[in-house]
Chains A and B, each alone.
Chain A
């Protein structure tokens, strides 16, 4: 199957590969997997406690090119956003950006799940209540 240029680019030059200190109070870790293909994806964020802005995002993904590209793109997108803002990213945005074919849509779902899991972990660590669809402005 032919990958789109953007997928190939992210696959060959993945952005933000790496690890953040899992035990840090400011770091949220999301680990998700797709049973159908055995892909596993870890996405980590470091959040500024004052501004709730994601200042750093790292990922490590074992899986196909689309899974790697999806998580690479996800880290690029969430960096500089507030956590609430980052939650607004939908897997369909990733599909569109990377021109993923239907059989690879689950890779984008995985990336969105990873963002949510990382933010969820950070919120739990910091005692922030889960909000489902809070717009970014709602947070002071």
Chain B
């Protein structure tokens, strides 16, 4: 289960018994491999939870840790260490895949802070109209009508060039809106990274709404692209 690491909790190294921060993959004192830490993905890289990340540094650290964790290095180690090298590598891969992608990173951080993202909450009886991008509904509906018309024309063996042009224009528009959302998200990243608890809470709420809007838009762009490309 996700949890924000409490970095104040020290754990004794299994090998040298010196207490260390639970997040580390290797004991800072004796350099021995440690069992998979219980912290979040950021702490795997020794990072505070942040949204603006230096991706080049993240990649470098990923490669460095991957090499150090490589199971070949533990061929002659004890059974525990062998197992840990596999488990730590799996954790490191998951952490890297999640953090390097801006959207996955944002979703992950929001989940760490208790936000419900995507369809995780769809099973509940939930009504919060603010989550629905209401300003888009009209356009989304119209676009879906056009897409349906386009598909019907297609299956009848017709090509409606006017409709095609209209859909291409719609795609450009929604691509643009997607870019706007990404820009807005980045602004909230900064607000979250630099803000206090109150500012963070506000940024979180905005990001959850932006991610909803983004999902909506990217589904549309996907549908339009599919229909145009069919």
Contact = CB atoms under 8 A, between A and B. Distances in A.
Interface of A: 31-38, 40, 42, 60, 62, 91-92, 102-103, 105-106, 109, 113
B215 interface: yes
A31 B215 contact: no
A31 B127 CA distance: 15
A23 B220 CA distance: 27
A35 B140 contact: no
A92 B148 CA distance: 30
A34 B132 contact: yes
B54 interface: no
Given A37-B122, A42-B141, 18 more contacts: A32-B132, A33-B132, A33-B140, A36-B119, A36-B121, A36-B212, A36-B215, A37-B119, A37-B219, A38-B140, A40-B141, A60-B141, A60-B145, A103-B119, A106-B123, A109-B125, A113-B127, A113-B129
Interface string B103-119: 00000000000000011
B126 interface: yes
Q: Which of B118, B125, B213, B215 has the most CB of A within 10 A?
A: B125
A48 to B, nearest CB: 27
B123 A105 contact: yes
- Interface SS majority for chain A: mixed
Contacts of A106: 119, 122-123, 126
22 contacts: A33-B133, A33-B134, A33-B136, A33-B140, A35-B212, A36-B122, A36-B212, A36-B215, A37-B219, A38-B140, A38-B216, A38-B219, A40-B137, A40-B141, A40-B144, A42-B141, A62-B148, A105-B122, A106-B122, A106-B126, A109-B126, A113-B129
Contacts, number: 64
Contacts of A42: 141
B122 A103 contact: yes
B138 interface: yes
Given A102-B123, A109-B127, A33 B213 contact: no
Contacts of B216: 33, 35, 38
B3 interface: no
A32 B148 CA distance: 19
Nearest to B147: A62
Nearest to B116: A36
Contacts of B136: 33
Nearest to B123: A102
A114 to B, nearest CB: 11
